[in-house]
Amino acid sequence: MMIKKIINFLSEQHGDNTLPERENQAFSYREGEPAFNKFRAARIWSNGELMQFSNLFMGTICNVSGAGDADKEGRYYRNYFINSSKYLITNLHKDEQTDFVLDLEVELHKDLVGICDCVFNHTVLEHVYECRRGFANLCTISRDVVIVVVPYIQQIHGGGYKDFWRFTPDTMQHMYDENGLKLRYCSANGAERTSIYLFCIGYRDPKWDKQIPERMDISLEPTQPLYGSDFMNVIGGNVIK
């Protein structure tokens, strides 16, 4: 019911929630085309994952390095967080959609410590060479929740910026741990031969244990041996053949 409520809410936001036609055209990969499997399928999956939980988070939400906030399905991420009281967007450079400039690779100014209740960061850390500092900065500006989406398997990409890293569930567990957050939920797509993302939610406040299920995706089928069938059950095992 809650997912249906959010979908209905998003569909009603014709003014704020629908992207300009020019931007929509840039995202119009068709299912079955190579570019769809490389770039769009995992994005759509991760949007669905976010939609399951975004209604839980209140207070100030900050989309870090969020560009124009587009979800690349014709909507804005701000409209996923239907219970937020304030929504901020940061980027490396200032533009009309950016509330303030933030460089994830440098030490943060003290005024940015704990500025929001929940950080959202989608497929950015692979482009940050100092990715551990970048992740630490995400944790520093959030008083509690940090939601990140990172690539596990994806070809090199980027226009005008570099592409440095790919992440495993073990990597994400370690980074949350070393910043004092509990990684509660780490899911992965991968049933089809597409790029694979990890969707992660971690937090400081143990109250979320009652609302966010524990999940750590390593295998495609949890009831089967992890390394059985020529490693085909490991996430990504069916992509690399």
CATH homologous superfamily, domain 2-231:
Vaccinia Virus protein VP39 (3.40.50.150)
User: By the 8 A CB rule, do 151 and 122 touch?
Assistant: no
- Residue that the structure tokens 């109250």 belong to: 207
Per-residue confidence band for 226, with pLDDT thresholds at 50, 70 and 90: confident
User: By the 8 A CB rule, do 142 and 121 touch?
Assistant: no
Interatomic CA distance for residues 238 and 103, integer angstroms: 36
Q: What is the residue extent of each domain of the chain? A: 2-231
Burial 169-188 (b: 16+ CB within 10 A, else e): bebbbebbeebebbbbbbbb
Per-residue confidence band for 19, with pLDDT thresholds at 50, 70 and 90: very low
Q: With a cut of 60, say whether residue 207 has pLDDT above it.
A: yes
Q: With a cut of 80, say whether residue 38 has pLDDT above it.
A: no
Interatomic CA distance for residues 122 and 124, integer angstroms: 6
Q: Extract the tokens encoding 40.
A: 């769009």
Who wins on pLDDT, 133 or 26? 133
Who wins on pLDDT, 52 or 23? 52
- Average pLDDT (9-15) is 41
Q: Extract the tokens encoding 196.
A: 């694979």
**What residues are paired with 119 via a beta bridge?**
62, 146
What's 52-76 look like in SS3? HHHHHCCEEEEECCCCCCECCCCCE
Q: pTM score > 0.95 for this model?
A: no
Per-residue confidence band for 139, with pLDDT thresholds at 50, 70 and 90: very high
Per-residue confidence band for 14, with pLDDT thresholds at 50, 70 and 90: very low
Summarised one tens digit per residue, pLDDT across range 71-127 is 999 999 999 999 999 999 999 999 999 999 999 999 999 999 999 999 999 999 999
- Residue that the structure tokens 């797509």 belong to: 189
Identify the DSSP state of 76. B
